Structure formats: structure tokens, C-alpha cells
Homo-oligomer: A and B are copies of this chain.
Amino acid sequence: MAEPCFDVAHLGHVELLTNRFEESLAFFVNVYGMTESGRNEESAYLRGWDDYEYCTLKLTRSESTGLGHVAYRTSSPEALERRVKVIEEMGFGIGWIEGDESHGRAYRFRDPDNHIFELYYDTRLYVAPPEERPALKNIAQRYHGRGVCVRRIDHLNLLAKNVSDIRDFMTKALGSRVTEQIQLDNGRLGGCWFTVNNKSYDIAYTEDHYGVSGRFHHITYAVDSREDVLRAADIFLENGVHIESGPHKHAIQGTFFLYVYEPAGNRVEVANAGARLILRPDWQPITWTETERKKGQAWGMKTIETFHTHGTPPVDPTKL
């Protein structure tokens, strides 16, 4: 068995598209509790209070919703070169870009379901202005306490037509490890959870209900405790945000979750994982059967139907 690679250090940022830019931005800043690092005509650059980079969420004006791109930061410039070489050989490369307001040159590629990814090493650090400096110097920004006050980017979930193809791709392209997966009775993979480091997952893919490509399921930021997730539920409730499901505990990965829709319809999660980490170097993927999945979430709650069908951009089932 190959040892963990760790050429890729961590999930860096996600670009999310919105056709209600101002409303989405107000949600992410005032209700979800992120901090805006900067803005240009097209995009706002956002981050959680302990994200060390300038941007972990790039919110971009668009005619629709869904994913712009996903970016991972590598462990070094050399690791970046190694990964690019692998991806080019796999035939999924797109090419280098100059960079962005939030990071230096980056390599673009696509996954087998046509989601766009980037890899980069040179980044822009968040430098707290005086009024945002923390009392303790080992965190990136003061705990400001605004809204849900999410701490850091945790993971995202994408939809794909063929999750098995994604599994092959992610383990080779990024050196990701599969930590958990759903094996359907029909032989297909229903879902797959991946990590490039010791977090239990940084990206997950589940099968697209409508069989279309390139869609987005949700993005997740971490808070420090389950109480923070419960508190988030009250904040969403009082601010008229649509709560889709939770708070509850996932059977898969054990995450304590809460899903809402931001104003443009993209699904957003607040989550806490407790003390769970994947430290074991020879971790064996946990495989859940369809029968096991029918037991519902950890404490028996049945998963709400929209969780299986709603993705962004939306699909008109009558036109498929």
C-alpha cells in the first residue's frame, strides 16, 4: 500500500456563482458571519475568522448558481509541479493561469464530471487590520461573534454522473485518500468522501439525481462545537434563511450538520466534527451499503428528499 502523499496540503477555496450577488453577500457576511477581504466588479473575497488565507470563498456574479471552481493549495512549489505533471499525463489538464487577487499562478484542470479545479502554492495571506487583530496571536483574526461566525473552510460536496470515475480521478490526481463511500446495490458508487490530509474529508461527491454533469451540492465551514451549530440554527431561523435539514448527526463521517440555502439557492452547511481525525496512515475506506443507508442519519432521522435532488444550478426535470 502506498504511503500518504500529501503533495496537496489542503482545500484552499471555492468559487461560488450567484445570480443574487448582493443578497448572497449579505448572507455570507452578516448571517453566516464571514469577513470580506476585498471585492472587485465580479467577485467578493470572503473567509472565516481563522482562515489564514485572504480568500476561502470567492463569491462571483453570474447568470446562474453553482460552482465556479475548486482550488487546493499544494505543500510546496515542487509538489505543485509534481501534481501538474500527473494531471497532464492523465489528460485532464487545462493550463496555467496568472493567478487571482487571492493567490499566485495556478494550474487549471477538470474532473471527469467537468467541474473546474485549480492547484496553486503561492498564496496571499490574510493580514488583519488593527480593528480585526485577535487578542491571542495564534489565530488569524479576532473572534468577532457576528452571525454564525464560522471558523474555517471545511469541505465541499459536488454532484457527479459517475462517482466511480471520480474516485479513480481524485486518488490519482490529488493523491486523495478515500475515507468513506456508499456502495449501491446496482454496483455503482452512490457517494465517496476524500481527504488529502488528516481531516476526515475535504471533498465529497454524490451521484447526481438527474444524471447531469458539473453540479454543486454544498459548501461547509467548521465551527468549534455542536452548540455553535445549534446556535446557528436559531440565527438562520431569526433571519428568515431556509433551513433544509438538521441539526443532526450524519451516520457517514459522524459530522454534526445543519444545511440551509443561501439567497441564490446554493446549499450551505455549518458543521462540527468533534475530535475526529484520520491519522491512521493505512486507513481502510468505510463502505456503507444501501441497506445501511436506509437506517437514516446517525440517530435515525430520515434524510429529507430535497437533499438527494436539490443541486445548483437547478435542473428542470421536465426538460431532461
Q: Which of B137, B143, B272 touches A234 (beta carbons < 8 Å)? A: B143
> Does A170 count as interface, using CB distance less than 8 angstroms?
no
Among the stretches A107-115, A208-216, A276-284, the one at the interface with B is: A276-284
> Does A247 count as interface, using CB distance less than 8 angstroms?
yes
Range, interface on chain A: 35 or more
From 221 to 243 in chain A, residues with beta carbon under 8 angstroms from any chain B beta carbon are 222-228, 230-231, 233-238, 240, 243
> Does A85 count as interface, using CB distance less than 8 angstroms?
no
A238 touches B79 (CB 8 A): no
A144 touches B238 (CB 8 A): yes
> Does A254 count as interface, using CB distance less than 8 angstroms?
yes
- Output the nearest chain B residue to A197 by Cβ-Cβ distance: B198
A136 touches B275 (CB 8 A): no
Copies of this protein chain in the complex: 4
> Does A300 count as interface, using CB distance less than 8 angstroms?
yes
- Output the nearest chain B residue to A251 by Cβ-Cβ distance: B136
> Does A273 count as interface, using CB distance less than 8 angstroms?
yes
> Does A116 count as interface, using CB distance less than 8 angstroms?
no
Measured CA separation A4–B218 after assembly (Å): 30
A224 touches B281 (CB 8 A): no
Measured CA separation A179–B61 after assembly (Å): 38
B280 touches A9 (CB 8 A): yes
> Does A199 count as interface, using CB distance less than 8 angstroms?
yes
Measured CA separation A6–B248 after assembly (Å): 34
- Output the nearest chain B residue to A224 by Cβ-Cβ distance: B274
B281 touches A243 (CB 8 A): no
B237 touches A226 (CB 8 A): no
> Does A262 count as interface, using CB distance less than 8 angstroms?
no
Measured CA separation A253–B135 after assembly (Å): 13
Q: Determine how close the nearest CB of chain B comes to the CB of A195; give it in whole angstroms.
A: 10
Residues in chain B near residue A288, CB distance under 8 A: 137
